[in-house]
Structure 1
Amino acid sequence: MARRVRRFTVCLSTELYEALKLKAGLSGKTVSALVGDLVRQGLAEDLQDLRLLSERAQEPVLTYEELLAELKARGA
């Protein structure tokens, strides 16, 4: 199954673009592949946080007072 891609424009300083081209060449990747990798790495923590929030969405919501009462009941 082919991956869907979306084309867009990114504006970079000349120095940053040249560094990106050099790193891509040294790693044997295209600039596009390298940018994709870097974006995925940069968003990995955010994606993990979103997954965790989604998983916890069904948990009951406690007020501050309810949380304190629960902690006191546990001796915490």
Structure 2
Amino acid sequence: MSKATLYLDDPIHKALRLKAAETRQSMSELVNDALRASLHEDLEDIQDWRERKNEPTLSFEDFVKQLKADGVL
């Protein structure tokens, strides 16, 4: 495990301390969990983009027409 120095806004630091106390987890555990979730979401977004990058694109006008035809709008 690596050590890092983080500078947090005061309200975020206070909220993190309170959540750590409530959940009986360390602040480091909470930060690691939050970063892990955020990075995992980024990886999912990249994977989705790779899977869809060759799909045809629609203009905004065609997209709106499609939504109307499908009864969404």
In the superposition, the TM-score normalised over structure 2's length comes to: 0.57
Q: Which residue of 1 aligns with 2:32?
A: 36
Largest Rg, 1 or 2: 1
Q: Tell me, in whole angstroms, the C-alpha distance in 2 between the residues paired with 1:28 and 1:37.
A: 14
Asked if 1:17 corresponds to 2:17, the answer is: no
What is the percentage of aligned positions where both structures have the same residue? 33
Moved over 4 A (4+): none
Unaligned residue ranges in structure 1 (runs of 5+):
57-61, 68-76
Aligned Cα root-mean-square deviation (Å): 2.2
Unaligned residue ranges in structure 2 (runs of 5+):
57-73
Q: Tell me, in whole angstroms, the C-alpha distance in 2 between the residues paired with 1:49 and 1:16.
A: 26
In the superposition, the TM-score normalised over structure 1's length comes to: 0.55
